Chain A
């Protein structure tokens, strides 16, 4: 690329030559001028000295012979010389003779020459001859010399300009060459029309021509290579695309391909076909058999009259049949599909295997995988072989809620918005607050307090649940560590008890804070913990440590009293649904009385929840309930607001 400061070679050479020439000319002018003037000056001075030395012997002889009267004549002879201005003859420092011309001259234009005068034998200096010599001649000569030099240098300068012109002319082919190369384009090779006689330029042209041919050859090679590579890339891309969109086992399009296809489809029957009990086939015959069955299944589907068949996961296939369907026609088609599949035989080696399928389908416009999936799950849940998606289901909202609360729990945990609340337990015999039940609350970003009803059941299905439990355990133990006269209850689910890490954490915390004798673990009756040996072991271990066990929401399930005995529980918390209408419903009163009666006989204390007013309070008190809990006593509060002194209502 040419920069702003780039100059052409010819310009540079011209500048150098001109500068060099100027330097040489000026040097010649000053050096020769000065040398010439010095020489002229010396010549003039020598002339003056010659005149003086010529006449000095005569003067000396005349003085020697005493012919003083002849001195003036000699001086006049001296003065006849053109450039002599004055002459003085001095003897013993005194002027004994002198002559001067009547002309005005500047002192600076005069040479002064002094020559000693000797006796004829040259032994004795007897006088001094002084000549004053005009420099006019010298100046004229100097001017002439200057003129000659100027003329000479002018001629030389003309020759120099001629030389510059010649250099420029000889560089023209090089400039043309540079211009051609500056506009060089691979697609338009440079054609050299130069008729230069210079060998070097010819060599450059030949070299560039050869380079052009090489570049062209290389370009052609590169072009072919690019084309080849492009083809290979396209092939590879197609291959990768196929791999990306194809199930490797069956060769069917996969879920990704389905998603992309659905974008362009408005009306179709979209059905998910899942092989029932396929896990058992794998377990029974092995994965190799499973793979073979899946391949055979795919082949069967392909042979059926569908627009497209996909394998979306392990034992799940999706079929797509374009067109507009009514519910009846759709259900008919789904039934036909099911029967067609189930009537066919699948084999592993020689062993025939019967397959049953569950089909969930949608005919919505446009159809979506979610709809078909919901229909499939509904069918599974209802243990039906096929189900068609209906807009009347609100499952979509549940899905959205689940997604929303999953996200909310995650952010609340990371931002510290899961808080521990506490609600007092009032001891009716001692007339004081015995302890508190620990409750979990999610605080929204806007400060709204959310009940666990909305998020806890969802949290139990996620990996966030153990974190929530540990948070409550940690905060509760820490808070009640120094409140020795209060107990506190922590709700545990079967998931908590079955999680060994959570159990280990609980044991660690309660021993660390020395609250083993004041902590009560509440277990839900509805979770049938007696069915889980791990739960029994946990209860036994906690009891051994000194902890107490309560059965929560007692009375809603099958209310098996025998396991109360086996687990040696300490408290029964009567379900709130029995308590909240106890003052109006006689049947409920009978049920509660029965529970209390049994509990007393077993030595288990009873707790009445949902005590919301004085009538309920008095009723449960009369029935012999030991402890009450509810808004009549106090509402749940953040744990930080609990005071140990607040023990009496």
Chain B
């Protein structure tokens, strides 16, 4: 399984971005749930909707829509007590004025990723990445499938991100990548 992943990563470099269905499937199931693990979220947004933006490059719009469909498939439009609204947002369209509660960054170049991270940090919302390696741009959370499913949490991004249920910290694997 590990070897297979390495091969896939190598192919990405050669043929542009490629996505792992299994990983997308896992992330679609788990990331929305992680959103509502934010502390204080219940008080602020109970009865409101939570908007998850799936940010993608233009060439990945299709995969972004697939992710939206998967999320809606797994969760419908409801997550916990909140209405879940999942939107696809191109990196280029992302701006701080958008009402958005969490970002799910698909693969992109460094500039776009940094720009999206900056907006997310400004909005003080959780930032998920599809690719673990993209945590180095300041994203907060990533999920990989290793021997088991592993949630990575970027310690250097904690100061810009909202606080989560402490249990998450106990099950997540911490990495310290990226710069402020």
Contact = CB atoms under 8 A, between A and B. Distances in A.
Contact of B148 (A60, A61, A69, A121): A69
Contact of A67 (B36, B37, B80, B148): B148
B170 A58 contact: yes
Contact of B149 (A58, A60, A70): A70
B33 A58 contact: no
Which of A61, A64, A121 is packed against the most chain B CB atoms within 10 Å?
A61
Contacts of B165: 61, 120-121
B149 A69 contact: yes
Contacts of A62: 171
Contacts of A73: 148
B43 to A, nearest CB: 12
Nearest to A66: B29
Contact of B37 (A58, A66, A69, A120): A120
A61 B36 CA distance: 12
Which of B33, B42, B168, B171 is packed against the most chain A CB atoms within 10 Å?
B171
A458 B37 CA distance: 155
B167 A58 contact: yes
Interface string B140-179: 0000000011010000000000000101101100000000
Contacts of A60: 167
Interface in B23-40: 29-30, 33-34, 36-37
A65 interface: yes
A36 interface: no
Contacts of B148: 67, 69-70, 73
Nearest to A120: B165
B36 A58 contact: no
Contact of A57 (B30, B33, B34, B167): B167
Contacts of B80: 121
Nearest to A64: B33
A622 B24 CA distance: 198
B36 A65 contact: no
Contacts of B33: 64-66
Interface on chain A toward B: helix, strand, loop, or mixed SS?
A: helix
A73 B146 CA distance: 14
A62 B151 CA distance: 11
B121 to A, nearest CB: 24
Nearest to B170: A58
A339 B17 CA distance: 197
Contact of B167 (A66, A69, A70, A120): A120
A66 to B, nearest CB: 6
A76 to B, nearest CB: 12
Given A66-B29, A66-B30, A121-B36, A61 B168 contact: yes
Contacts of A65: 29-30, 33-34, 151
A69 B26 CA distance: 12
A64 B80 CA distance: 11
Contacts of B149: 67, 69-70
A115 to B, nearest CB: 14
A83 to B, nearest CB: 22
A627 B90 CA distance: 198
A67 B30 contact: yes
Given A67-B148, A67-B149, A57 B170 contact: yes
B24 to A, nearest CB: 15
Interface in B10-55: 29-30, 33-34, 36-37, 42
B167 A61 contact: yes
Nearest to A60: B167
A64 B34 CA distance: 10
A291 B133 CA distance: 171
B42 A61 contact: no
A78 B173 CA distance: 18
A58 B170 CA distance: 7
Contacts of B36: 121
Interface string A62-105: 10111101100100000000000000000000000000000000
Nearest to B34: A65
A120 B168 CA distance: 9
Nearest to A72: B148
B30 A61 contact: no
Interface in A45-60: 57-58, 60
Nearest to B42: A121
A58 B171 CA distance: 6
Contacts of B171: 58, 61-62, 67, 70
Nearest to B168: A61
A120 B37 CA distance: 7
B65 to A, nearest CB: 23
Nearest to B165: A120
A532 B36 CA distance: 168
A77 to B, nearest CB: 11
A171 B170 CA distance: 73
A69 B171 CA distance: 13
A65 B37 CA distance: 10
A60 B171 CA distance: 11
A648 to B, nearest CB: 163
Which of A65, A66, A69, A73 is packed against the most chain B CB atoms within 10 Å?
A65
Contacts of A121: 36, 42, 80, 165
A620 to B, nearest CB: 173
A602 to B, nearest CB: 175
Contacts of A57: 167, 170
A121 B82 CA distance: 13
B23 to A, nearest CB: 14
Interface in B58-96: 80
Nearest to B41: A121
A57 to B, nearest CB: 4
29 contacts: A57-B167, A57-B170, A58-B167, A60-B167, A61-B37, A61-B167, A61-B168, A62-B171, A64-B33, A65-B34, A65-B151, A66-B29, A66-B30, A67-B30, A67-B148, A67-B149, A67-B171, A69-B148, A69-B149, A70-B148, A70-B149, A70-B171, A73-B148, A120-B165, A120-B168, A121-B36, A121-B42, A121-B80, A121-B165
In order of increasing CB-CB distance, the 8 nearest A-B pairs are: A57-B167, A69-B148, A61-B167, A120-B165, A67-B149, A65-B30, A70-B148, A58-B171
Interface of A: 57-58, 60-62, 64-67, 69-70, 73, 120-121
Interface of B: 29-30, 33-34, 36-37, 42, 80, 148-149, 151, 165, 167-168, 170-171
Given A65-B29, A66-B33, A120-B168, 19 more contacts: A58-B167, A61-B165, A61-B167, A61-B168, A61-B171, A62-B171, A65-B30, A65-B151, A66-B29, A66-B30, A67-B148, A67-B149, A69-B148, A69-B149, A70-B148, A73-B148, A120-B165, A121-B42, A121-B165
